[in-house]
Amino acid sequence: MTSSLRMLAYGAAADQCAEYCRMAKSTSIECLQRFTRGIVALYSAEYPRAPTLADLKRLLAKGERRGFPGMIGSIDCMHWQWMNFLTAWAGEYSGRKKIPTIILEAVNNRVHKLGYYLADGIYRRWTTFMKTIPNPTQPKEITFVKAQEGYRKDVERCFGILQARFGIVRGVARGWDKEDLRYIMLACIILHNMIVEDKRPEDSDEDLESDEEDDNNMRPRIAEVWDGPTGQDFEEVGRDAHTFEGFMERYNEIRNQYNHSNL
d(CA 260, CA 114): 11
> Once rounded to an integer, what is the mean pLDDT over residues 109-137?
79
- Beta-strand ranges (E) seen in 120-197 are 129-131
CA dihedral 16, 17, 23, 24 (to 10 degrees): -30
Q: What is the pLDDT of residues 96-115, one digit of tens each?
A: 556 677 777 777 656 556 78
Please count the structural domains in the chain.
2
Domain identity same for 116 and 238 = yes
Same domain for 188 and 256, yes or no, is yes
146 and 169: one domain? yes
Same domain, 98 and 203: yes
pLDDT in tens, 213-255: 544 444 445 555 555 554 445 555 455 555 777 778 878 888 8
Cα 16 to its chain centre, rounded Å, is 31
Are the C-beta atoms of 54 and 205 separated by less than 8 Å?
A: yes
Check whether residue 9 and residue 57 sit in a common domain.
Answer: no
Task: Tell whether 57 and 38 lie within a shared domain.
Answer: no
Same domain assignment for residues 15 and 100? no
Domain shared by 136 and 171, yes or no: yes
Report the side by side order of strands in the sheet with 71-74: 71-74, 116-119, 129-131
pTM of the model: 0.64
Domain shared by 198 and 148, yes or no:
yes
4 and 118 part of one domain: no
Mean pLDDT of the chain: 76
- For 68-79, give one letter per residue: b (16+ CB within 10 A) or e: bbbbbbbbbebb
Range of the domain at 224: 50-263
